[in-house]
Amino acid sequence: MKPHYDIPNDLGAIKDRDILEGYSSDPLHVAMPDALVRPQSVEEVSRILSYCHSHGIPVTPCGNQTSLTAAAIADHGILMSSEKLESGWRIHEDPEQPGRWLAYVGAAANLAAFQDSIAAQGFFYPPDPTSREEILVGATVATNASGEDSFKYGSTRRWVRGLQYVRPDGEIRRVMRYADEKGSAHKNTCGYPFRESEVDLLIGCEGTLGVITEVIVEVLPFVPEFVSMFVFFENEGHALWAVGQMAERSSGELRCCEYMDRAALDILVQGADGFQCPETAEAALYLKLEFAGDCQGVLETWLDHLEGIFDHLQSAHLLDAVQAFTDAPAQRMLRHWRHLIPATINERAAQYRDYGGGKVGTDWYVPLNRLTEMFTRVRDDQDGADWVVFGHIGNGHPHFNFIAKDLREYQRDRELLFKHCQLAVELGGGVSGEHGLGKKKSQLLAMQYSERDIQEMVAIKRKYDPQHIMAPGNIFPDSLFK
């Protein structure tokens, strides 16, 4: 039975069902909290958490609830939205390292608004989730978000230098780390990192260690120009082989290398105005290539690379199908097209919810040199599953998005997801590269980490949150805290 909590109204708690309904779903799941709070200041967050800590009331923080793992919804306790917290930003030169620049950003800032506004001032903040127009900066840190440009720029962890957050007992803390402590470009959103830095622990903690109220991120004092390209292939194997070639041939200019299978291309053919694709293409890569001043130079170099690749694949005719886009409006359109793929899948899957179906999305990653083996083994096991494959192939991190039409298919697809994650770990990768575990994938933690590692993470969680009030169910199965 659902536990009952006395949540006093003077915490600012909203219990009106109509309002709660509006906060009771992410794109794939539904859960109704007992109450909603929308604090407007760090002091208010502190007051609420302090009360909940003393009274054992669960609190799940959320941003704009685009999480795909039920991490940002709660079926009991308080849902704490960060939407009304500070949403502004300011940029200063790093006093410790002249020539480097830091942005102080309120947790409620919209990521795209922040990025576009500082770009107009000549600054660049690289993390680039496809959902950037919908999400809050505090949440991108809580999820260690990454996106299409992670091939060159890594995930959010790499850019965070500090943050202000409120601990579960209400203590307000401001913590920093130095640039040389920055996390690597490596993608991993499974559990806590084994690092001492408090900043690192908060990054990707999925709301389990506190509420982030401000982030301090490094921004670059220039906005790189780039050319975007669509490159089509006769089949998946050709495209995967080409990824390795491109990674080898890039001297730093390859910023994004995204994969689309035929089903993903069909979504674009049907929904993206102006998208053109050879009928025989079974796969495509979407690339971004940076240049400084000489667009023609990078284009010529990469057309040479592609010629070599297509010669090897005996598909010289596909060189003529390569599409290059240089102007900003066209590149914005490509971003929109890229976003259309997961957004369409989420919509399609949602219509099967009432039948017990829905989307099952993989988020595993493997080293680049194991990609072909991984794809082959996953395909061998398809078992009639209906899926669309797209995503961050340059990081060894494609998404296989299953669409299950009913409960039977959903259960089969969940089993396949678990098998694939196990395989990814065996091949030297991990179970989650960017979406985290949330509540829907918390069983995967034990696939990637040993019992001892998990006990270490649980000890950290207990140290920060002895009452276990923060985001219960996220990352850790509840059984670990009984």
Binding residues for ligand FAD, rule: CB under 6 A, are 27, 60-68, 71-72, 82, 107, 129-131, 135-136, 138-140, 142-143, 145-147, 206-207, 211-212, 342-343, 346, 434-435, 471, 474
Q: How many CB atoms within 10 Å of residue 351?
A: 12
Beta carbon of residue 163, minimum distance to ligand FAD (angstroms, whole number): 9
Whole-angstrom Cα distance, residue 103 to residue 126?
Answer: 13
Helix, strand, coil shares of the chain as percentages rounded to 5?
Answer: 40, 20, 40
Q: How many CB atoms within 10 Å of residue 357?
A: 22
Query: What is the Cβ-side half-sphere exposure of residue 236, based on CA atoms within 13 angstroms?
Result: 18
Beta carbon of residue 139, minimum distance to ligand FAD (angstroms, whole number): 3
Beta carbon of residue 320, minimum distance to ligand FAD (angstroms, whole number): 31
Which ranges of 74-179 would DSSP assign to H, the alpha helix?
111-120, 137-142, 150-153
Q: Give the closest residue to 206 by CA, choosing from 221, 190, 183, 182.
A: 190
Pairing state of beta strands 160-166 and 172-176? Answer: antiparallel
What are phi and psi for residue 345, nearest 5 degrees?
A: -60, -45
Which ranges of 105-235 would DSSP assign to H, the alpha helix?
111-120, 137-142, 150-153, 198-202
Beta carbon of residue 248, minimum distance to ligand FAD (angstroms, whole number): 25
Answer for the pair 231, 241: CB distance below 8 angstroms, yes or no: no
Q: Read off the tokens for 16.
A: 């009106």
**CB of 136 or CB of 374, closer to ligand FAD:** 136
Beta carbon of residue 156, minimum distance to ligand FAD (angstroms, whole number): 8
Beta carbon of residue 134, minimum distance to ligand FAD (angstroms, whole number): 6
Sheet order of strands, 101-106 included:
89-93, 101-106, 211-219, 160-166, 172-176
Dihedral sign of CA atoms 100, 105, 107, 111 in order? negative
The 3-state DSSP class for residue 20 equals helix
**CB of 147 or CB of 357, closer to ligand FAD:** 147
* 46 dihedral zone (left: phi>0; alpha: psi -120 to 50; beta): alpha
Beta carbon of residue 145, minimum distance to ligand FAD (angstroms, whole number): 3
**CB of 136 or CB of 217, closer to ligand FAD:** 136
**CB of 101 or CB of 165, closer to ligand FAD:** 165
**CB of 185 or CB of 299, closer to ligand FAD:** 185
**CB of 12 or CB of 61, closer to ligand FAD:** 61
**CB of 49 or CB of 318, closer to ligand FAD:** 49
**CB of 238 or CB of 436, closer to ligand FAD:** 436
Beta carbon of residue 463, minimum distance to ligand FAD (angstroms, whole number): 17
Beta carbon of residue 207, minimum distance to ligand FAD (angstroms, whole number): 3
**CB of 71 or CB of 227, closer to ligand FAD:** 71
**CB of 74 or CB of 309, closer to ligand FAD:** 74
Distance of CA 441 to the CA centre of its chain: 14
Beta carbon of residue 177, minimum distance to ligand FAD (angstroms, whole number): 18
Beta carbon of residue 12, minimum distance to ligand FAD (angstroms, whole number): 16
Total residues found in the chain within this entry: 482
Buried b (16+ CB within 10 A) or exposed e, 248-273: ebbeebbbbbbbbbbbbbebbeeebe
Q: Read off the tokens for 325.
A: 């886009």
Q: Give the closest residue to 395 by CA, choosing from 150, 229, 132, 193.
A: 150
Q: Give the Å distances, CA to CA, from 310 to 59, 232, 396.
A: 54, 10, 21
Beta carbon of residue 26, minimum distance to ligand FAD (angstroms, whole number): 6
**CB of 310 or CB of 337, closer to ligand FAD:** 337
Beta carbon of residue 142, minimum distance to ligand FAD (angstroms, whole number): 3
Answer for the pair 153, 223: CB distance below 8 angstroms, yes or no: no
DSSP 359: E
**CB of 83 or CB of 218, closer to ligand FAD:** 83
**CB of 80 or CB of 321, closer to ligand FAD:** 80
Q: How many CB atoms within 10 Å of residue 220?
A: 16
Instruction: For the chain, give the longest Cα–Cα distance.
Output: 71
